[in-house]
Amino acid sequence: MRALADFILRGRLQATAVALIGNWVPLLTPATVALVTLRVGRNNGLLILLWGLLPSLLLLGFSQIAPAVATAVVGGVVLTYLAALFLGRGTGWATCLMGMVALATLFALTLGALAPSAVESAVQSWNQLSDEMASSADAEPITYGAAFVLGLLAYGMAFPAAVGLMIGRWWHSLVANPGGFGAEFQALKLHPVQAIVCMVASLYCLFQGLEYALWSTLFAFPLVVQGVAMMHRLVAIKRLGTQWLFVFYAVLVLLEPATHLLAVLAFLDTWLNFRERAKPRA
């Protein structure tokens, strides 16, 4: 990864090439934009952002669902760029994550208000896909509405933006401050007010039914990231080895309730300070 980071920072041509390739490699474009913005500055980051988004912008109008997909890609990379700007100026990770969720929500709701026809086309396409999947599985199809699609769009912006920013920050630390990202990430912790806002918003959407399930996941996302940071720190304190992290991520990916449990643990960590209470293994 250090070699790739060095290649990206070698010049604009190299960074542009990687950003363009990132349209076919998940998270590569936002990570490249984040690295260039953090290391070289906002103007160069903006230039790489524009080149990296060119294929997604060209997709607009190709099909009914393409505008929504392209909007999610464009919005996600723009969020990464904005967060990298603030992170580079000393804004904490917690505030950056909260800002990403807020802006992703704003972008999605704005699209719903300004382009209802595009949202309706995406709803129809998604329901058609749902019907086909239900038919092949001999199950009852589920009908989704605009709220679900807008939640999918918002989460589709916030998640890759946050992960891309983390990768870009990791690459930046490899070049400028080896080992710095690990300590920085493991210290990630929401302010109590931020944690309460996330938990209340997530629970409210959770009880609104399937239509708002992704909104619940989106609002809980900063807590989940804090939970991941907490687990990394605990593994480091206990000197448990990276195999425990592999197990942790496997459980997180394969078992959906694990994500909810992690968000609850992170919420409690805001007040109980699990990381500070942990003691190294003898």
Residues of the chain with pLDDT under 50: 65
* Token pair 């000393």 in the structure block, residue: 90
Considering the domain architecture, whether residues 241 and 194 belong to the same structural domain is answered as: yes
Considering the domain architecture, whether residues 23 and 93 belong to the same structural domain is answered as: yes
pLDDT computed for residue 61 by the predictor: 56
**Of 127, 149, 178, which one is at a domain's C-terminal end?**
178
Considering the domain architecture, whether residues 217 and 280 belong to the same structural domain is answered as: yes
Considering the domain architecture, whether residues 55 and 158 belong to the same structural domain is answered as: yes
Considering the domain architecture, whether residues 146 and 238 belong to the same structural domain is answered as: no
Considering the domain architecture, whether residues 71 and 172 belong to the same structural domain is answered as: yes
Considering the domain architecture, whether residues 213 and 78 belong to the same structural domain is answered as: no
pLDDT computed for residue 250 by the predictor: 94
Considering the domain architecture, whether residues 22 and 120 belong to the same structural domain is answered as: yes
Task: Decide: residue 237, CB within 10 A, 0-12 exposed, 13-18 middle, 19+ buried.
Answer: middle
Considering the domain architecture, whether residues 136 and 259 belong to the same structural domain is answered as: no
pTM of the model: 0.92
pLDDT computed for residue 66 by the predictor: 58
Considering the domain architecture, whether residues 263 and 159 belong to the same structural domain is answered as: no
pLDDT computed for residue 233 by the predictor: 93
pLDDT in tens, 58-75: 766 555 545 667 778 888
Give the Cα separation of 83 and 91 in Å (integer): 9
What's the CATH code of the domain at 90?
1.10.1760
Residue 16: name the closest of 43, 45, 42, 41 by CA.
45
**Of 142, 157, 178, which one is at a domain's C-terminal end?**
178
Task: Give the 3-state secondary structure of 32-92.
Answer: HHHHHHHHCCHHHHHHHHHHHHHHHHHCCCCCCCHHHHHHHHHHHHHHHHHHHHHHHCCCC
Considering the domain architecture, whether residues 199 and 255 belong to the same structural domain is answered as: yes
**Mean pLDDT (the chain, rounded):** 89
**Of 126, 143, 178, which one is at a domain's C-terminal end?**
178
Number of structural domains (the chain) is: 2
Range of 104's domain? 1-178
